Amino acid sequence: MKKRSLKELNRIGIPEFKAQKKAPIVLVLDNIRSAHNVGAAFRTADAFAIEKIVLCGITAQPPHREILKTAIGASQSVEWEYKKENVAALKQLKAEEYKIIGVEQTDESTSLEQVEVSKMKKYALVFGNEVQGIDDQLLPLLDEGLEIPQFGTKHSLNVSVSMGIVLWTYFRAWKYGRIN
- List, as one string, the DSSP characters of 60-129: --TT-HHHHHHHTTHHHHSEEEEES-HHHHHHHHHHTTEEEEEE---TTPEEGGG----TTSEEEEEE-B
Task: Determine the pLDDT at residue 178.
Answer: 62
Model pTM? 0.96
Task: Determine the pLDDT at residue 101.
Answer: 98
Task: Determine the pLDDT at residue 22.
Answer: 98
CA 75 to each of CA 34, 79, 129: distance values in angstroms, whole numbers, following the listed order: 15, 8, 20
One-letter amino acid identity for 109? Answer: S
Which residues, 6+ apart, have CB-to-CB distance to 169 below 8 Å? 112, 115, 117, 179
Task: Determine the pLDDT at residue 89.
Answer: 98
- C-beta of residue 114 within 8 angstroms of C-beta of residue 146: no
Phi, psi of 37 (to 5 degrees): -65, -35
Which residues, 6+ apart, have CB-to-CB distance to 158 below 8 Å? 37, 130
The pLDDT profile of the chain, 180 residues, written as one tens digit per residue, is 999 998 899 999 999 999 999 999 999 999 999 999 999 999 999 999 999 999 999 999 999 999 999 999 999 999 999 999 999 999 999 999 999 999 999 999 999 999 999 999 999 999 999 999 999 999 999 999 999 999 999 999 999 999 999 999 999 999 998 654
Task: Determine the pLDDT at residue 177.
Answer: 84
User: Is the bond into 63 cis (omega within 30 degrees of 0)?
Assistant: yes
